[in-house]
Amino acid sequence: MAHAAPSREEIAEGMARIVKEIHVLSFLVRSKEEGAALAGALRKCKSDSILRKVERSSYAQVDTIMIRFGSPDTAYENASLCDRQVKGVGVFYSGNFGWAVLYLLDKRTYKPAIELSLPDRQRRVEQILRGRHEQELAAKYSFEVLKSRRAFADSLLFNSLADSISSLWKEDTSHFKSHGRYILTSDLVDLITVRLKRLLGSIFVTIEDGNLSLEQVLEMFRYVDFTSGTCEGEPFKAELNEAVKGVVAKELLVREGRRQGLQNTRAVRSDLQLWTDYWAARSLYYRVRDSIAVSDEDIIQHLVEKQNVFGSSYQVNVREVLAASLADFSRFLMN
């Protein structure tokens, strides 16, 4: 993409940055003014006494981080690798984290970059810069396409989806949690599809040129790395809402691409060919799976026949239900 090609000046700056590795303290602050006050205090501190001498109330959060060229957050990279900072202290705004203040702890040579030949190093710099420009162009294009579009989600279906995800996560929090966040896997999407079967055909998102059913949105979630810091409550629903908005936005972009006939271009057809066999095989798998029914008697018979394979003990997935009396339990089984 010609528009994404980096300039000579950008490449030169990248070549200077790629050989550096910056170790900093990152303070998140509530406003630019609070950041300026904190930066002033930090300039008077020595690195071994910062956290003792700076008031805890003067910042919201502090972390020790290492920054290199190609960091996901370009604001952090620009702030830390810029030589114009006074004593390594600067206030800046990150689109991901808000206002922040950096304190330089150490600046060293990044050995993996130094070990590359100059041509390989330049190719790596150009690759990073081109990727960033492509992301910027994609963001601008997406904004132009989406700014006039409107989509509305059904609140009752949204809450049903949220409750289903939440209940599944709660059933086994250790299995569906990694690095402090709950994960929506493809297996969970399968379970949600079964649990919400009667609602799958309902219109979940209303769009002027074609609505989306709950089943269609769930299918989209197979290709989204949706995670949440909590498994219930309003914070979880807020994160799920952003994820739904994200998949709907992608659907709108796909529709715009089809309207322009981009699906017929050589590049798109080449990419899609890689997935054609996968989609066909997965569709066949679901048709076969959904045509099979297994009763409790089938399971017991299989266990009896294969007892030598399973041995004296095996794992089963059970749920304990407490009832006040045998009669209540009998009514529960009947329902």
pLDDT digits (tens, 9 = 90+) for 266-285: 877 887 777 788 778 878 88
| DSSP single-letter state for residue 325 | S
- 263 forms beta bridges with none
* Of 13-17, 85-89, 232-236, 311-315, minimum mean pLDDT range: 85-89
Distances (CA, A) of 170 to 50, 58, 175: 41, 37, 10
- Banded model confidence at residue 159, pLDDT cuts 50, 70, 90: very high
The closest alpha carbon to 89, from 54, 60, 129, belongs to 54
| List of residues 6+ apart from 189 with CB closer than 8 A | 218, 219, 221, 222
Q: How many angstroms separate the CA atoms of 226 and 35, rounded?
A: 32
Q: Work out the average pLDDT over 77-89.
A: 65
Banded model confidence at residue 97, pLDDT cuts 50, 70, 90? confident
- Kindly state the tokens that stand for 87: 């004593």
Which residues lie across from 21 on neighbouring strands? 68, 108
DSSP per residue, 264-283: GSHHHHHHHHHHHHHHHHHH
Task: Give the contacts of 280 (CB within 8 A, at least 6 positions apart).
Answer: none
More confident residue, 156 or 263: 156
Give me the torsion for CA of 212, 214, 219, 223, rounded to 10°. Answer: 80
Residue 267, φ and ψ in degrees, nearest 5: -65, -45
Give the model's confidence band at 175: pLDDT under 50 very low, under 70 low, under 90 confident, else very high. confident
Which tens digit of pLDDT belongs to each residue from 111-131? 999 999 999 999 999 999 998
Measured distance CA(123)–CA(11) in Å, rounded:
10
Separation of CA 259 from chain center: 28
The kind and range of the H/E element at 28 are strand 20-28
Q: How many CB atoms lie within 10 A of CB 76?
A: 21
Distance, CA of 166 to CA of 159 (rounded, Å)? 10
Comparing 82-96, 115-129, 151-165, the range with the smallest average pLDDT is 82-96
Locate 246 and state its tokens.
């994200």
Tokens of residue 231, six digits:
């498994």
**pLDDT for 177:** 76
Range of lowest pLDDT (1-5, 53-57, 73-77): 1-5
